[in-house]
Amino acid sequence: VEIAIRPVRPDEAERFVVVAEMAFGKDAQGADRFAQLLETDRALFACDGDQPVGASAVLSFRVTVPGGELPAAAVTAVGVLPTHRRRGILTRLMHAMLADARGRGEPLAVLWSSEATIYGRFGFGDAVPCGDVEVERAHARLRTDPVPARARLVPLAAAADVLPGVYDRVRVATPGMLARSERWWRLHRLADDETARGGAGPLVAAVVELDGRPEGYALYRIEHDWGEGVSRAVLDVREAMGTTPAATRAVWEFLFGIDLVARVRASFLPLDHPLRFAVAEPRRLRMRVGDSLWVRLVDVDAALAGRRYGADGTLVLDVADDFCPWNTGRRRLEVHGGRGRVEPTEEPADLALDCAELGALYLGGVDPGALVRAGLVDELREGAAERAARLFRAERAPWCAEIF
């Protein structure tokens, strides 16, 4: 049978969420919330006759890149029903989404992947390695001096007024972070209905003040467990950050001091997170490294010209891109005063790589030399990977604090 790809109509937002969730084997609890965030003009159905059997959507975001921010197509709600898998439906949806992003002038596409095997073929690279930690509170202690700070719990409605200001200060300095709308905060980040809770307690917002000003916050839930009469509760940190190193430490001092908590868990921490170094017993964090944000350069030249670089110099890149052939070719990146100029060239290449690997390197979170040693990037001139590392280096490791 013919499968037709078509846009989702404005009145089909909830139906869209039902189909996408069905592909994950879930019901559509919370569908109304996500339906309100959906940009229906960027959502697609794959239909068998009049029945939608596949879905995908793009949210329009701005993402921080080293030294600035760029518009990005944030791909989400990708799913194909189990009855229709492995016939190329996702491939067609992806072609449509990337062509549309290109038409809109978005140099980047980004996503979180359910499985690392899916998106490399479409040119996405694992750009933001991150760490999940779970530490017994009895051993959760910083070895730095206590920060003079004050924490206060605020109702979620009030949090919506305070948290975005703190987040934005962190966001502009941190590659990989997304600009959030007021709607996004309300319907997504601060959502606290039963679906959002997933069996845990209510979402708690704590604001940390230094010198009387909000400089950090934590959003967390407690998973209560009174087995054998002793609390074995887990404090699940949904998001925590500070605008300065001291503020960040103050947030974690607060979290580590909450009573009746046996373990503290946090996910998707950037690999340079101060906690890793300031904690008294790093081994007890039991940090597990995984992937978070995947990055695809929709327009390689615009993306390369759209970030700042860590050093001056030149680099000739031979890029292969079977899925978006307009990117294939050799180009010369020339950096002056941190700004990059990109032009096509016939010069011999320094590095040859697939677009997915360039996506992995793009935010500065992955060392080009490591990809050469892993057999994923070809170093055609000695020292080229080291030169690329100096150029692509960013001040901070990238961080994407939440799944979208």
Ligand X SMILES: CC(C)(COP(=O)(O)OP(=O)(O)OC[C@H]1O[C@@H](n2cnc3c(N)ncnc32)[C@H](O)[C@@H]1OP(=O)(O)O)[C@@H](O)C(=O)NCCC(=O)NCCS
Stretch that binds ligand X, among 5-13, 86-94, 227-235, 390-398 (CB under 6 A): 86-94
Provide the minimum distance between the beta carbon of 24 and ligand X in the complex, in angstroms, as a whole number.
5
| Of 66, 79, 164, 364, the one binding ligand X by CB under 6 A | 79
In angstroms, the CA 35 to CA 8 distance is 12
| Of 10, 49, 68, 88, the one binding ligand X by CB under 6 A | 88
Stretch that binds ligand X, among 31-39, 80-88, 333-341, 359-367 (CB under 6 A): 80-88
Is 113 a residue that touches ligand X (CB under 6 A)?
yes
Sign, CA torsion 96/362/171/279 = positive
Q: CA 293 from chain center: how many Å?
A: 4
In angstroms, the CA 304 to CA 175 distance is 14
Backbone φ, ψ for residue 226 (5° rounding): -105, 30
| Nearest residue (CB) to ligand X, 23 versus 351 | 23
Residues in region 119-158 near ligand X by CB under 6 A:
121
| Of 2, 11, 115, 194, the one binding ligand X by CB under 6 A | 115
Provide the minimum distance between the beta carbon of 112 and ligand X in the complex, in angstroms, as a whole number.
6
In angstroms, the CA 238 to CA 264 distance is 11
Sign, CA torsion 72/77/82/84 = negative
Pairing between β-strand 68-80 and β-strand 51-65 as defined by DSSP bridges: antiparallel
In angstroms, the CA 34 to CA 261 distance is 32
Q: Which of 141, 276, 264, 158 is nearest to 206 (CA)?
A: 158
The helix (run of H) or strand (run of E) holding residue 11 is none
**Residue 404 annotated as catalytic:** yes
In angstroms, the CA 37 to CA 364 distance is 30
Name the catalytic one among 119, 217, 220, 392. 119
Is 290 a residue that touches ligand X (CB under 6 A)?
no
| Nearest residue (CB) to ligand X, 75 versus 316 | 75
Residues in region 375-404 near ligand X by CB under 6 A:
none
**Residue 119 annotated as catalytic:** yes
Is 86 a residue that touches ligand X (CB under 6 A)?
yes
In sequence order, what are the beta bridge partners of 62?
71
| Nearest residue (CB) to ligand X, 85 versus 276 | 85
Nearest-10 crossing angle of helices 384-392, 355-362: 50
Q: How many residues bind ligand X (CB under 6 A)?
A: 18
Beta strands in 103-212 (DSSP E): 108-112, 125-126, 130-136, 150-154, 204-210
Provide the minimum distance between the beta carbon of 28 and ligand X in the complex, in angstroms, as a whole number.
14
| Of 58, 80, 233, 372, the one binding ligand X by CB under 6 A | 80
In angstroms, the CA 293 to CA 34 distance is 20
Provide the minimum distance between the beta carbon of 154 and ligand X in the complex, in angstroms, as a whole number.
33
| Of 15, 33, 85, 332, the one binding ligand X by CB under 6 A | 85
Residues in region 23-62 near ligand X by CB under 6 A:
23-24
**Binding residues for ligand X (CB under 6 A):** 23-24, 78-80, 85-91, 113-115, 117-118, 121
**Residues recognised as catalytic:** 119, 404
